Amino acid sequence: MSDEDDIILSELDDEELVQQMFDDLYDGLKEEIEEGVNILLERGWQPYDVLTKALVGGMTIVGHDFRDGILFVPEVLLAANAMKGGMAILKPLLVETGAPRVGKMVIGTVKGDIHDIGKNLVGMMMEGAGFEVVDLGINNAVEAYLEAMEKEGPDILGMSALLTTTMPYMKVVIDTMVEQGIRDDYIVLVGGAPLNEEFGRAIGADAYCRDAAVAVETAKEWVGRKHNQKSA
Ligand code: B1M
């Protein structure tokens, strides 16, 4: 029996529980993460706080140790799987706001990149804010984005990249949109840990979004602007 088995999550106070969830996420313990999420919700925590303080907080630690060569891909995959377990519980709560439909977004991670947690989080938060979200998944070539835009007619194209080697692909997509004369038909928002505002500007995106909350705010602002322009 490991030490983990001796810990009764519901007996920990909030701070201890969040610390324990950091450890459990680190160890890829999906069931424990799900239990922790449920306990925090039962204690009245807002779903968004559970997400950012317990899950994203824990994943940040994983990220540091991955960078420093302490954790390796298999362990990080387990951590990601545990995080997704927690996110699955939070998703309906974040989405069920009853907000009126405010716009539509197509979102996907760019070609060569399989990171999807951040993108999924953005999609969840956008749905929660009343956007219809079409998720193209990971590893999207320019053709996949173009096809989805034509088929779905979204207000927004969202692209995610987590690698310094894949983020330049966003420019390939935007340049192709320019070549095809459709760039200005869409609001283009980009995000992902290695990006910044300067990069967003340099590749011709409308805005860089630091996190999911900023993505929602930025999307609302730009869609509002677009509708005002149309009605002017
Ligand atoms: Co990867 N990985 N990984 N990885 N991984 C990073 C990104 C890395 C920074 C780790 C590190 O070294 N510290 C590093 C990149 C270094 C670099 O490019 N300079 C890295 C590497 C190197 C790799 C591999 C190459 C490792 C290898 O194979 N040797 C490999 C690449 C595979 C590939 O894509 N081709 C790889 C693989 C993996 C796993 C499969 C093991 C797993 C992914 C599982 C999955 O996603 N299903 C994984 C993970 C989990 C990570 C870290 C640890 C965590 C990423 C994450 O989920 N963060 C990551 C370290 C880190 O980022 N600190 C790392 C939590 C998430 C909520 O945040 O994704 O930033 P984030 O999303 C935020 C914002 O960025 C923003 O909002 C989100 C929510 O607030 N945002 C958007 C994101 N997308 C947006 C789109 C928008 C708007 C906002 O559109 C409008």
Domain-by-domain residue ranges, the chain? 7-97, 104-231
Give me the mean pLDDT over the 134-163 stretch.
98
The answer for residues whose C-beta is within 8 angstroms of residue 136's C-beta and 6 or more apart is 106, 107, 108, 144, 145, 148
Give me the mean pLDDT over the 16-25 stretch.
97
pLDDT value of residue 5: 61
Residue 4 clears pLDDT 60, i.e. is over it: no
Of ligand 1's listed atoms, the one at least distance from the Cα of 113 is: 34
DSSP letter for each residue of 38-78: HHHHHTT--HHHIIIIIIIHHHHHHHHHHHTTSS-HHHHHH
Q: How far apart are the CA of 218 and the centre of ligand 1, in A?
A: 22
- Residue-wise pLDDT for 174-201, tens only, equals 999 999 999 999 999 999 999 999 999 9
Residues whose beta carbon lies within 6 Å of some atom of ligand 1: 56, 59, 62-63, 66-67, 73, 76-77, 80, 107, 112-119, 121-122, 158, 160, 162-164, 189-194, 209, 211-212, 215
Question: What gap in Å lies between CA 18 and CA 54, rounded to an integer?
Answer: 6
Give the global pTM: 0.89
| Cβ neighbours, 10 Å, residue 6 | 7
CATH number of 7-97: 1.10.1240.10
Give me the mean pLDDT over the 94-108 stretch.
81
pLDDT value of residue 2: 47
Same topology between domain 7-97 and domain 104-231:
no
Name the CATH superfamily for 104-231: Cobalamin-binding domain (3.40.50.280)
Of ligand 1's listed atoms, the one at least distance from the Cα of 112 is: 35
Q: Which two tokens stand for residue 81?
A: 């799987």
Give me the mean pLDDT over the 79-94 stretch.
91
pLDDT value of residue 98: 60
Residue 112 clears pLDDT 80, i.e. is over it: yes
Give me the mean pLDDT over the 41-60 stretch.
92
Q: What percent of the chain has pLDDT over 90?
A: 74
Round the average pLDDT of the chain to a whole number and report it.
92
SS3 state of residue 124: helix
SS3 state of residue 116: coil
pLDDT value of residue 99: 59
